[in-house]
Amino acid sequence: MTSIFETSIEFLKGVGPQRATLLQKELKIFTFGDLLQHYPFRYEDRTRFYTVREVNEEMPYVQLKGRITRFETVGSAYKKRLVGHFADDTGSLELVWFQGIPWVMQKIKTGIPYIVFGKPNRYGKSYSIAHPEVEPESEKTEKGGLQPVYPLTEKLRARHVDSKFISRLLQEVLRQGHKNIRETLPDQLLRRFGFPSKKEAMISIHFPENPAVLSAAQHRLKFEELFYLQLRLLKMKLVRYEKFRGQEFKDTAILTQFYNHHLPFPLTEAQKKVIREIYSDMKSGRQMNRLLQGDVGSGKTIVAFICMLLVIGGQAQAALMAPTEILAQQHFNNLRKYADAMRLPIALLTGSTRKAIRKVLHEKLQSGELKILIGTHALLEEEVKFHRLGLAIIDEQHRFGVAQRSKLWQKNAETYPHVLVMTATPIPRTLAMTLYGDLDISVIDEMPKGRKPIKTTHQFDSHRLQVNAFLRSQIDAGRQVYIVYPLIEESEKLDLKHLMDGYESISRAFPDLAISILHGQMKSEAKEFEMTRFLKAETKIMVATTVIEVGVDVPNASVMVIESAERFGLSQLHQLRGRVGRGAEQSYCILLTSYKLSAEARLRMNTMVRTNNGFEIAETDLELRGPGDLMGTQQSGLLDLLIADLGKDGKILQDAREVAGTLLQQDPELSKPENQPIKAHLSALRKTAVNWAKIS
């Protein structure tokens, strides 16, 4: 029998076909159930009324009682607006409408006592409220003082679909369906955390009687959402442990030889710990699916090579896939030194690899003669066949789609290769538990000894002459400099002009120096040429876009200047800063901005100046931008959270994961009678689930 919550939103009283289409397009609300889970993002206290005299522009919103004395239409064509003169005993202000004017004229009358609600704006000495909520005082129906405010769009507001309208629809949905809201958590969990029932929580989240009731409803719904997310992820992990057999690699002879005779520097304790964790996976007989996190310069590449030696010692092959040709080339150059020392065949495969070279490479790979293959998306091509792929390493994995990643490890379908996912983007713990909850996680949280922290300063545009003088002193001391400009897709032409203008001004400031330029619209050969010149120190300054964000390693570069730094997110600023500090000399990062900065941009600059700790920076970035922006996770569909906020709900997430883990330990199949509500709800969720476990 179909639940009332699966009924199309079109059939809800007050909606109809046109509004239904609008709700579907703008808010993805297709059914009664979707509407019920369209949660408010804040609540307004409607218990307090102000007088017109008390109004000021600092107020986020204001609620007034009074009358509209007259209307007038001002302006013409697209500048036309309707102005209502609103007054109480203490003064008057203007109510302004730019859209829906005929509807306002029809519904709102002069001389009637109204309650008006909205954001006050100041023009000169007078105040106005644009597109206010207006309700006859005689019809005020809200119970309690907290009124929900729902996520909306401009298109909806133009059609008079506001928070009040959504509330009326929800009243109707709950009137019809409140008896059909079934419990989704077992009694023992409700008792343990003191949660309200699902029905009580759903009513209170939309129509809270008081702040305490609202807080309890929010806590319960956030816990439930995160609990089921963690339960799905941990169940996938369990399935993988049980069902996915892994190749066993126990022979450490080659690894030991490299460690004793060819290791170029001592490993940090963090690197050793990670290698032990990976070795434990590789000899366990289960397929490894591990995320390796490490800040820029923490030494992930040498760890990756040591892992490769484990599988080569077991007569298998290793592959490393990187998102760009520059980064793949970088990995190849670094790893080839180690591979040559061990006399191991290694090759590079990218989109620009010549056909003749590809043919030989494919043959050697299929015969097993080629032991290590580094490459880009080219590794995923049909004709790339391994003799026996033992380890698939994916670098900066969030730049690859799920389907792309799965193609690589399916190259060895008989017994899946071990999978190591690497990222230099530090991921906050809450996000890692959610995005990668089904992976085992290793962290390199220690920098190599002797590495000096990068000194970061924030300068305004007006200090450019002093900055140039500092750059000159560094270049005279034999160092090299990056100057990075933003390149945002939506305004590529504008930003490219910005880059070229910058290149010209740098050329004028340093007329005696050869300067490289690098941006995304250049051909691969041109990029390679410029990068090689800079690497050989033939050019002293590299003017670039964020093309150099990941992977370019020039130990002699000691200064990173980031132009218009306010246009970058924290994680990206940190990634760019990590391009310097690769050598023994002191390195510097200079953040150049205009004077006019938002509070958030100022916080980003202060955070960068204060700390070099990537994980601390990532936590701040998560709070500022949210998980979708931070990781580009919209593609995954995994973080379509309806009420929980990973930036703020870390404690709830930890509780949810701990409960989910304990539950699966005690009842892996969820067969106990008390866990039947969980099993039923999990099955309903599974209709839209993706098997993330297989594809890291």
Q: Give first-to-last CA distance, the chain, whole Å.
A: 37
pLDDT score, position 83: 92
pLDDT score, position 632: 44
The answer to whether residue 359 sits within a structural domain is: yes
Asked if 401 and 498 sit in the same domain, the reply is no
- Looking at per-residue pLDDT, the higher value among 126 and 435 belongs to 126
Is 330's pLDDT higher than 80? yes
Q: Which residue has the tokens 């040498």?
A: 302
Instruction: Over range 148-177, report the average pLDDT.
Output: 88
Asked if 407 and 500 sit in the same domain, the reply is no
Q: Any alpha helices (H) in 371-463, and if so which ranges?
A: 402-409, 429-435
Asked if 486 and 402 sit in the same domain, the reply is no
The answer to whether residue 591 sits within a structural domain is: yes
pLDDT score, position 207: 93
Asked if 58 and 137 sit in the same domain, the reply is yes
Tokens of 659: 């409960």
Q: Fill in the DSSP letter of residue 29.
A: -
Domain containing 98: what range? 47-141
Share of the chain above pLDDT 70, in %: 90
Is 399's pLDDT higher than 80? no
Q: How many CB atoms lie within 10 A of CB 262?
A: 12
Structural domain ending residue among the three candidates 141, 160, 194: 141
Q: Residue 413: which pLDDT band, with cuts at 50, 70 and 90?
A: low
Tens-digit pLDDT profile for residues 544-564? 887 765 556 788 899 999 999
The answer to whether residue 636 sits within a structural domain is: no
**Plot region of 474 (φ>0 → left; ψ -120 to 50 → alpha; else → beta):** alpha
Structural domain ending residue among the three candidates 563, 591, 611: 611
Q: What is the CATH number of the domain that holds 607?
A: 3.40.50.300
Q: Residue 689: which pLDDT band, with cuts at 50, 70 and 90?
A: very low
Q: Is the pTM of this model over 0.75?
A: no
Is 516's pLDDT higher than 70? yes
Asked if 419 and 521 sit in the same domain, the reply is no
Is 306's pLDDT higher than 50? yes
pLDDT score, position 68: 93
The answer to whether residue 634 sits within a structural domain is: no
Q: What are phi and psi of 196, to 5 degrees?
A: -70, 165
Number of domains in the chain: 3
Asked if 389 and 462 sit in the same domain, the reply is no
Asked if 463 and 603 sit in the same domain, the reply is yes
| Distance from chain centroid for Cα 236 | 22
Strand segments, DSSP code E, in 244-324 are: 289-294, 317-321
The answer to whether residue 618 sits within a structural domain is: no
Q: Fill in the DSSP letter of residue 548.
A: G
Asked if 463 and 344 sit in the same domain, the reply is no
Asked if 345 and 460 sit in the same domain, the reply is no
